[in-house]
Structure 1
């Protein structure tokens, strides 16, 4: 196998393990779920930290995305997916707790003081030491998606 900076030759390509189309789709879906989850986590945590009335995350998007990322994290543990960090059962349990606390805050309930610290730990468990850059980019993608599909009505709007 050549050094990572060298181009692959035909002989090297034979050594690579090819993924099935289903596995490639799963990997792409899980990566997208993780990216949007980190975006929503960052947006929510920042809004709570600032004390904003509007938490800027659609509750259904939060629930669906964090449920999806929990599943993706379990697939990491099972060895079907690989990412920049080694996901543990404790990481999944923290993500579940974050999903519950975030859902409560988004539905007008308690804004737990634990949410900010838990959000940071969850973002780090997905992206490792590079979580800050990943979270900034992901929040930008999540905000862009919210501009196209209005979170309260579900109707499409023209991108701004």
Structure 2
């Protein structure tokens, strides 16, 4: 259901796909529709961990990762809507463009979560992670290490 002020695309962005992607695995979590936290901060507050189960052919790609390391997990919000350009979020006043929000409703439903590795099973290709807001079974696009020297802009300070 659309909220006041929201604007949708006149087409389904999935019909304009221009590139192929491969899902490297799936997120396993306790979350589903109506039970998932709205973001990673809230997910961490639940104390519920999760795991990433890779397709076995990708298990060797975990080489070099370590427990306690922060990673960026890119995942495909496969059960989300894709058509909103302008949204009216519950948590904020006023309408905002999709690119000004972390909402899962986007033309390409790609989500990014910076999480911490809690366990690694190289043989099985499974990473334990500290938290996720993703629903159980959400496809994983990629895993990248997080580096403060690369991922934090020089001289950047959080808005207060």
Whether TM exceeds 0.5 here: the answer is no
Q: Which structure has more helix as a fraction of its residues?
A: 1
TM-score (normalised: structure 2): 0.25
- Report which of the two structures shows the higher radius of gyration computed on alpha carbons: 1
Which fold has the larger relative contact order, with Cα–Cα distance below 8 Å and residues 6 or more apart in sequence?
Answer: 2
Q: Which structure has more strand as a fraction of its residues?
A: 2
TM-score (normalised: structure 1): 0.25
